[in-house]
Amino acid sequence: AELRAENERVQAQVAPLQTEVAELRTENSRLQAQLAPLQAQLAAQGAENSQLRSRMVALEAGEGGEEGGRRVRQRVGAAPHDAPPSDAEVRAMGVAAAAAALRAHGSVSRVALAACGRLADLCKDE
Protein backbone atom coordinates (compact mmCIF):
# COMPACT_ATOMS: atom_id res chain seq x y z
CA ALA A 1 0.00 0.00 0.00
CA GLU A 2 2.88 2.32 0.76
CA LEU A 3 4.42 1.68 -2.67
CA ARG A 4 1.06 2.27 -4.34
CA ALA A 5 0.72 5.64 -2.59
CA GLU A 6 4.27 6.58 -3.60
CA ASN A 7 3.53 5.56 -7.21
CA GLU A 8 0.37 7.69 -7.30
CA ARG A 9 2.26 10.65 -5.84
CA VAL A 10 5.02 10.34 -8.49
CA GLN A 11 2.47 9.97 -11.30
CA ALA A 12 0.70 13.11 -10.05
CA GLN A 13 4.03 14.97 -10.29
CA VAL A 14 4.81 13.54 -13.75
CA ALA A 15 1.42 14.28 -15.36
CA PRO A 16 1.92 18.09 -15.69
CA LEU A 17 5.44 17.48 -16.97
CA GLN A 18 4.13 15.15 -19.68
CA THR A 19 1.58 17.81 -20.71
CA GLU A 20 4.34 20.40 -20.86
CA VAL A 21 6.52 18.09 -22.98
CA ALA A 22 3.63 17.53 -25.42
CA GLU A 23 3.11 21.32 -25.71
CA LEU A 24 6.84 21.85 -26.28
CA ARG A 25 6.89 19.17 -28.99
CA THR A 26 4.02 20.92 -30.77
CA GLU A 27 5.83 24.25 -30.53
CA ASN A 28 9.04 22.64 -31.77
CA SER A 29 7.25 21.18 -34.79
CA ARG A 30 5.74 24.58 -35.62
CA LEU A 31 9.15 26.27 -35.37
CA GLN A 32 10.81 23.57 -37.48
CA ALA A 33 8.18 24.14 -40.18
CA GLN A 34 8.97 27.88 -40.15
CA LEU A 35 12.71 27.22 -40.18
CA ALA A 36 12.82 24.97 -43.27
CA PRO A 37 11.93 27.64 -45.87
CA LEU A 38 14.22 30.14 -44.15
CA GLN A 39 17.13 27.72 -44.43
CA ALA A 40 16.42 27.24 -48.14
CA GLN A 41 16.26 31.01 -48.63
CA LEU A 42 19.53 31.45 -46.75
CA ALA A 43 21.24 28.84 -48.94
CA ALA A 44 20.01 30.57 -52.11
CA GLN A 45 21.17 33.96 -50.87
CA GLY A 46 24.53 32.48 -49.92
CA ALA A 47 24.98 31.16 -53.46
CA GLU A 48 23.96 34.53 -54.92
CA ASN A 49 26.32 36.31 -52.51
CA SER A 50 29.14 34.05 -53.65
CA GLN A 51 28.45 34.88 -57.31
CA LEU A 52 28.35 38.60 -56.55
CA ARG A 53 31.62 38.38 -54.63
CA SER A 54 33.24 36.64 -57.59
CA ARG A 55 32.02 39.36 -59.95
CA MET A 56 33.23 42.07 -57.57
CA VAL A 57 36.68 40.47 -57.30
CA ALA A 58 36.89 40.20 -61.08
CA LEU A 59 35.93 43.84 -61.51
CA GLU A 60 38.33 45.02 -58.82
CA ALA A 61 41.10 42.89 -60.33
CA GLY A 62 41.03 45.20 -63.31
CA GLU A 63 39.14 43.44 -66.06
CA GLY A 64 39.10 46.80 -67.82
CA GLY A 65 42.84 47.24 -67.35
CA GLU A 66 42.61 50.23 -65.02
CA GLU A 67 45.62 50.94 -62.85
CA GLY A 68 45.40 49.63 -59.30
CA GLY A 69 42.62 47.19 -60.14
CA ARG A 70 39.88 49.75 -59.48
CA ARG A 71 37.15 50.33 -62.00
CA VAL A 72 36.94 53.76 -63.49
CA ARG A 73 33.62 55.11 -64.68
CA GLN A 74 33.40 55.52 -68.38
CA ARG A 75 32.39 58.95 -69.48
CA VAL A 76 29.32 59.08 -71.69
CA GLY A 77 29.13 62.16 -73.85
CA ALA A 78 31.24 65.25 -73.59
CA ALA A 79 32.65 66.47 -70.31
CA PRO A 80 31.35 69.84 -69.15
CA HIS A 81 34.63 71.56 -70.11
CA ASP A 82 34.58 70.14 -73.68
CA ALA A 83 32.52 72.68 -75.61
CA PRO A 84 30.88 71.25 -78.75
CA PRO A 85 32.25 72.56 -82.04
CA SER A 86 30.30 75.10 -84.04
CA ASP A 87 28.58 74.12 -87.28
CA ALA A 88 31.24 76.05 -89.20
CA GLU A 89 34.01 74.11 -87.42
CA VAL A 90 32.29 70.82 -88.24
CA ARG A 91 31.94 71.82 -91.94
CA ALA A 92 35.72 72.38 -92.08
CA MET A 93 36.61 69.01 -90.49
CA GLY A 94 38.02 65.98 -92.23
CA VAL A 95 36.67 62.44 -91.82
CA ALA A 96 38.62 61.59 -88.65
CA ALA A 97 37.84 64.90 -86.94
CA ALA A 98 34.13 64.73 -87.85
CA ALA A 99 33.92 61.16 -86.56
CA ALA A 100 35.69 62.20 -83.33
CA ALA A 101 33.30 65.14 -82.90
CA LEU A 102 30.34 62.83 -83.44
CA ARG A 103 31.73 60.39 -80.89
CA ALA A 104 32.47 63.09 -78.31
CA HIS A 105 29.34 65.21 -78.82
CA GLY A 106 26.77 62.74 -80.17
CA SER A 107 24.34 63.74 -77.44
CA VAL A 108 24.20 67.30 -78.85
CA SER A 109 21.71 67.00 -81.70
CA ARG A 110 23.06 70.04 -83.56
CA VAL A 111 26.58 68.61 -83.61
CA ALA A 112 25.35 65.12 -84.44
CA LEU A 113 23.41 66.40 -87.46
CA ALA A 114 26.30 68.58 -88.64
CA ALA A 115 28.89 65.80 -88.22
CA CYS A 116 26.71 63.23 -89.99
CA GLY A 117 26.11 65.68 -92.80
CA ARG A 118 29.84 66.42 -93.07
CA LEU A 119 30.70 62.72 -93.11
CA ALA A 120 28.10 62.11 -95.81
CA ASP A 121 29.55 64.96 -97.90
CA LEU A 122 33.09 63.64 -97.45
CA CYS A 123 32.10 60.09 -98.35
CA LYS A 124 30.22 61.27 -101.46
CA ASP A 125 33.30 63.03 -102.75
CA GLU A 126 35.40 59.87 -102.60
Neighbours of 123 (CB within 10 A): 9
For residue range 14-33, what is the model confidence (pLDDT) as tens digits?
Answer: 999 999 999 999 999 999 99
Q: Residue 55 is inside which H or E element, if any?
A: helix 2-60
122 — pLDDT class (breaks 50, 70, 90): confident
Model confidence band, residue 79 (pLDDT cutoffs 50, 70, 90): low
Mean pLDDT, residues 51-79: 68
Backbone torsions φ then ψ of 70, nearest 5 degrees: -95, 140
Average pLDDT of the chain, as a whole number: 85
Residues 59-64: what's their mean pLDDT? 70
Is this structure's pTM higher than 0.85? Answer: no
